[in-house]
Amino acid sequence: MQMSNQHINNLFLSINYQRGKVVTFLVSLIAGIIISIVIATYLAANGASANTYKTSWIGNTFGGGDKWVQNYIEAMYVAPNGTVYANSTWEEAGREAGIYKDGDVIGLSLDTHGWSRSGGKAVTANSKYLYLAMIQGPVGNRENYPPEKTNWYCVRRYDLSGKPAPFKGGSGHDRSMLIVSTKGEVTGLATSGNDLYVSDSAENKIRVYNSETGAEIRSFRFTNPGQISVDRQGNLWIIQPKKGSNPAKILHYSKQGKQLPEQIADVVEPKAIAIDNQNRLLIAENGPRQQVLIYNIKNKPVLTGTFGSKGGIYQGTAGEISNLKFYGITGVGTDAAGNIYINSNGFNNSGTDLRKLSPNGKLQWQLLGLHFVDNADTDPATDGIEVFAKQEHFVMNYSKPAGQQWTYKAYTINPFKYPQDPRLHTSPTSVFFRRIKGKPFLFLTDMFASFIEIYRFNPNSDGKIAIPAGMFGATPEKDGKPIAVSWPPNLPKQGEWIWGDRNGNGAFDNGEYDPVPKDYPYLGGLWVDSKGDVWKTLRTLDGIGIRHYPLQGLDTKGNPIYTSKSLQKQKTPSIFTDIRRIEYFPETDTMYLSGFTKEHPPVGDDTGVIGSEIARFDNWSKGNPTPRWRTVVPYDTTGKREVSTAAMSVAGDYVFAVTVKTAEVYVYKTGTGAEVQKLKPGPEVKGESGWIDIPYGIRAFRRSNGEYLVFVEEDWKGKVIVYKLPK
């Protein structure tokens, strides 16, 4: 009986204990729910989402880490096994000399970056070594470097994996360099047996070296030598590029330097050259044909075929990307199986588009490295689906994995129809894409905000090409006197101007300039609002530092009209001692300005940054100088520029601002100016980014579903980072 009572007591205690556990659990659960509701309410009130953002990118086949496609391939060599060795004069992350195979990045030639070293315009290899044209500049008075004010134009030897391969008598810090000249670049390289052939452009010579020892064996005269290829008979085919009134040719020489009678003189702009597995000569025609021309060279050279669409990317729908449409060819080569490798670099260094195609033209793989100091913006009429950079047009599918969301749709420059396109003569970096009266327009500026270039589109006449339509610029001067320039023609004698393409031919014709009265020279920022009005801020100008050019409509050719007479000058709000960026939204009459203030002044070098504060002004058109809010952004307080903000962009409920060195995006609420979130490059891009070098290195857009897209310049490894934030 005692045992039974004890059992009942224990059971009773156990039930109460379990009840206590349940009550405790329920209390904890309710408390957790309440806390979650409070946190969610706080986050919602402050605009921050509990969901995480995602990182993606556009413009490069690979996202970073040890894999990215170099920019601006200027020369390449294809080995019999299909390994591609490429050379660029400059590559921000140090891949001046990339190595590719089977559509993948397999390495790079080491030590081509830093210590005053850069790549070059030629590359070749044999079964043992890689030979790379490069430049070695001086580094103080260090031993084994050039003296001050002198460059070595070299051929540097590597093993086939990309490690420097020193040789007896070699120069440079590791004895792997063969100094060819101190006057001009190496413009061609080829090997045959133990002979290394080098185009010495400055001395108008072909120099021949022993490929093992580096000793010069012989040389012969050749005016303006370019790329070299060696046929199966051991004879040389050498490009002689166009120079002045002298047309381009491809000349035939024996290996001893005797000119042979065969030559090819009907190629407008031969850019690259190679011998294929059938001993045919392949010539990359970078003129209007944009094709590879195939010559039988058994006797007198005979054009027997072509590879690629005639007219290149301008065939069919102009600008539209397809497998056999090339543009700005800088490299051609073949492997032992006869596959053809072609690199398109665009015009004025647009970016790498490296393709392997079967002999019948089927695409095997494509590698892209399209961006350097570049950003992107969306066509607002497409809800973020169509995205434009300074030369490229992308179509997005945001449901796909990171890095696979973009399709390279079009290349928007046509140098043959519009040779005066400003993009061929300047270096724009930033895009404002706008719809004016429903029509698409591309506005571009550079890293110094020194101009605005304006482009229109006409699919019926020009396909995907952006047609030069207008420009805000200035006649270049030195010491107050105009400088003679070849582009653009017909400039006003001095001062600022607005050019409008009145006759619609995309050229800067006489009578198309509208001079603008001379103004304060130091620009802080530029902006094109949703109506197409142009805004400028002038740094440190006392009192009146904002310029507004209202759009006057579209002319009969579809070009936006701006005039000097319509210029409006507006006061700088007194809170700013040095005004920088400007973004105005006519739909709500809201102005966002940034700059330095009395409370937060600049320290040290403040070039290119947005300042120390962002402020919002409501009812701007009514002359309201009082900010709704002011917020301090990361800025330099030490003079070391370790922390500063490069660019800002307003979209929907947020102001996005990105820092220079860390490329962190600070997110502020437009209603209050309160910081609510911070974005950093995610694991999809290996947590990496280069510095933000441009004043419009961030562009944001709110989609119809409430999501935000944030595009950020990433010049280190050749892409644009894309953040996607939930609503």
DSSP H helical ranges for 199-332: none
pLDDT band for position 521 (cuts 50, 70, 90): confident
Q: Cα-Cα-Cα-Cα dihedral of 34, 36, 42, 43, to 10°?
A: -160
For residue 83, give every residue at least 6 positions away whose Cβ sits within 8 Å of its Cβ, in sequence order, or none. 99, 100, 101, 106, 160
Structure tokens at 645: 């903000």
126 and 93 share one domain:
yes
User: What span, in angstroms and rounded, lies between the C-alpha atoms of 298 and 140?
Assistant: 53
The pLDDT of residue 533 is above 70: yes
Instruction: Inform me whether the pLDDT recorded for 207 exceeds 70.
Output: yes
| Measured distance CA(241)–CA(550) in Å, rounded | 47
d(CA 176, CA 144): 11
pLDDT band at 542 (very low <50, low <70, confident <90, very high): confident
258 has pLDDT over 80: yes
Cα separation of the two ends of the chain = 68
Provide mean pLDDT across the span 106-110: 97
Selection from 224, 157, 212, 220 nearest residue 187 by Cα = 224
Count CA within 13 A, CB hemisphere, residue 399.
Answer: 0
- In a shared domain, residues 195 and 310: no
* Domain of residue 23, residue span: 2-46
- Residue 641 included in any domain: yes
Task: Kindly report the number of other CB atoms within 10 A of residue 262's CB atom.
Answer: 17
Q: What is the mean pLDDT of residues 627-654?
A: 96
pLDDT (tens digit per residue) in 126-136: 999 999 999 99
**pLDDT at residue number 341:** 98
pLDDT of residue 10: 40
**230 touches 214 (CB < 8 A):** no
Residue 584 is assigned to a structural domain of this protein: yes
- What's the pLDDT tens digit per position in 432-461? 999 999 999 999 999 999 999 999 999 999
Question: What does the alpha-carbon distance between residue 349 and residue 327 come to, in Å, rounded to a whole number?
Answer: 11
Q: What is the mean pLDDT of the chain?
A: 93
Distance CA 155, CA 120 (A): 9
* Strand pairing report for 719-725 and 708-714: antiparallel
List the Cα angle 299/358/348 in 5-degree steps.
85
Q: What are the Cα distances from residue 427, in Å, to 129, 456, 526?
A: 36, 19, 16
| CATH number of domain containing 188 | 2.130.10.10
Q: Which residue in 546, 485, 479 sits closest to 519, CA to CA?
A: 546
What is the arithmetic mean of pLDDT over 272-279? 97
Question: Where among 350, 369, 388 does a domain terminate?
Answer: 369
What does the pLDDT average to over 679-706?
97
pLDDT at 679 over 80: yes
Give me the CATH number covering residue 247. Answer: 2.120.10.30
Residues 149 and 39 in one domain: no
Task: Kindly state whether residues 492 and 593 are assigned to the same domain.
Answer: yes
Q: Report pLDDT for 14.
A: 40
Work out the pLDDT band at 12, boundaries 50, 70, 90: very low
DSSP character at residue 313: G
Residues 307-333, mean pLDDT to the nearest whole number? 98
Is residue 54 a part of any domain in this protein? no
Report the pLDDT averaged over residues 572-591. 97
Q: In this predicted model, which residue has the larger pLDDT, 604 or 92?
A: 92
pLDDT of residue 40 exceeding 80, the answer is no
Give the other-Cβ count within 10 Å of 703's Cβ: 19
Give the bridge partners for 652, in sequence order.
none
Segment 384-401 mean pLDDT:
98
Answer whether residue 56 is part of any domain: no
Do residues 202 and 121 both lie within one domain?
Answer: yes
- Within-domain flag for 519: yes
Exposed, middle or buried: residue 198 (CB in 10 Å: 0-12, 13-18, 19+)?
buried
Is the pLDDT score of 644 beyond 70?
yes
- Indicate the range of 22-31, 310-319, 343-352, 635-644 predicted with least confidence: 22-31
Contacts of 253 (CB under 8 A, 6+ apart): 206, 220, 222, 235, 236, 238, 259, 260
What pLDDT was estimated at residue 51? 53
Q: Which residue, of 193, 226, 259, is where some domain finishes?
A: 226
Q: Does the pLDDT of residue 214 top 90, yes or no?
A: yes
- Report d(CA 627, CA 478) in Å as an integer: 40
- Same domain, yes or no: 354 and 382: no
CA distances from 290 to 296, 308, 416 (A): 20, 8, 11
| Domain shared by 444 and 463, yes or no | yes
Q: Is 258 a member of any domain?
A: yes
Map residue 22 onto helix, strand or coil.
Answer: helix
pLDDT of residue 76: 98
Nearest C-alpha neighbor of 470 from the set 494, 447, 445, 493: 445
462-498, pLDDT tens digit by residue? 999 999 999 999 999 888 888 989 999 999 999 999 9
Choose the final residue of a domain: 193, 211, 226: 226
With H, G, I as helix, E, B as strand and everything else as coil, classify residue 274.
Answer: strand
Q: Where are the alpha helices (DSSP H) in 493-646?
A: none
Examine the pLDDT at 39 and tell me if it is beyond 50.
no
CA distance 446 to 470: 15
* pLDDT for position 541: 80
pLDDT score for 22: 39
Is the same domain home to 593 and 653?
yes
β-strand partners of 152? 136
Residues 6+ apart with CB under 8 A from 46: 669, 672, 674, 676
662 shares a domain with 617: yes
> Same domain, yes or no, for 219 and 244?
no
Are 323 and 383 contained in the same domain?
Answer: no
Going by C-alpha positions, the residue among 567, 319, 546, 562 that lies closest to residue 436 is 562
Q: Side chain identity at 55, as an amino acid letter?
A: T
For residue 271, pLDDT over 60 is answered with yes
Residue 686 CA to residue 186 CA, distance in Å, equals 36
Assigned domain for 175 exists:
yes
Number of continuous H segments (helices) and E segments (strands) in the chain: 2, 53
Percentage of the residues of the chain whose pLDDT score is greater than 70 = 93
- Residue 11 pLDDT > 90: no
Please, which pLDDT band fits residue 9 given cuts at 50, 70 and 90? Answer: very low
Q: What is the pTM of this model?
A: 0.92
Cα–Cα distance, 518 to 512 (Å, whole number): 18
Q: What is the CA radius of gyration of the chain?
A: 30
Q: Give the up-direction half-sphere exposure of residue 638: CA atoms within 13 A in the CB hemisphere.
A: 6
CATH number at residue 566: 2.130.10
Domain count, the chain: 4
Residue 176: band (very low, low, confident or very high) from pLDDT cuts 50, 70, 90: very high
Cα-Cα-Cα-Cα torsion 212, 213, 216, 217, nearest 10 degrees, comes to: -60
For the cut 60, the answer to whether the pLDDT of residue 64 exceeds it is yes
Is 62 a member of any domain? no
Report yes or no: 672 and 684 within 8 Å, Cβ to Cβ: no
Position 492: which residue type?
A: P
Pull the structure tokens for residue 716: 């280190």
| Residue 217 shares a structural domain with residue 304 | no
Return all residues near 24 (Cβ < 8 A) that are at least 6 apart.
Answer: none
